[in-house]
């Protein structure tokens, strides 16, 4: 019997919602494992943009959180993360916008 194929995750586009602080955002992502083996552990990386009152993109801050592992082969899992940047980076009138989510897994 052949060995199952390795884990292969695809991520949905991030669904965003306001959090209780302007420097935080609730980010919901669905992780779909199209491989035959489970994704046992890993890291999710968020690219969060700091946006000024006039729409200027002032900075992109990356942060990481744990992957919601294990994710069995052929299944999916949805997780909502609270993603924050340092409060001093988001003065009054500015907000955050998480535009890209990536993951690494084993």
The domain spanning residue 75 has which CATH number? 2.60.40
pLDDT tens column, 36-82: 999 999 999 999 999 999 999 999 999 999 999 999 999 999 999 99
Q: Encode 18-46: b = buried (16+ Cβ within 10 Å), e = exposed.
A: eeeeebbbbbebebbbebeebbeebebeb
32, HSE (Cβ side, Cα atoms, 13 Å): 5
Q: DSSP assignment, residue 70?
A: -
87, part of any domain: yes
Q: DSSP assignment, residue 7?
A: P
54, part of any domain: yes
Query: Smallest Cα–Cα separation from 97: which of 45, 22, 34, 12?
Result: 22
Domain that holds residue 72: 9-99
2, part of any domain: no
Q: What is the pTM of this model?
A: 0.93
What is the distance between the alpha carbons of residues 24 and 17, in angstroms, rounded to a whole number?
A: 9
pLDDT tens column, 17-31: 999 999 999 999 999
46, part of any domain: yes
Number of domains in the chain: 1
């Amino acid at each position: 019997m052949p060995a199952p194929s390795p884990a292969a995750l695809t991520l949905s586009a991030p669904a965003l919602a306001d959090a209780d602080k302007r420097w935080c955002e609730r980010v919901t992502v669905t992780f779909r494992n199209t491989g035959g083996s489970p994704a046992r552990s890993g890291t999710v990386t968020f690219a969060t943009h700091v946006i000024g009152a006039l729409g200027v993109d002032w900075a992109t801050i990356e942060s990481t959180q744990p992957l919601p592992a294990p994710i069995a082969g052929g299944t999916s899992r949805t997780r909502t993360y609270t993603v924050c940047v340092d409060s001093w980076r988001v003065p009054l009138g500015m907000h955050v916008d998480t535009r890209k989510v990536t993951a690494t897994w084993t």
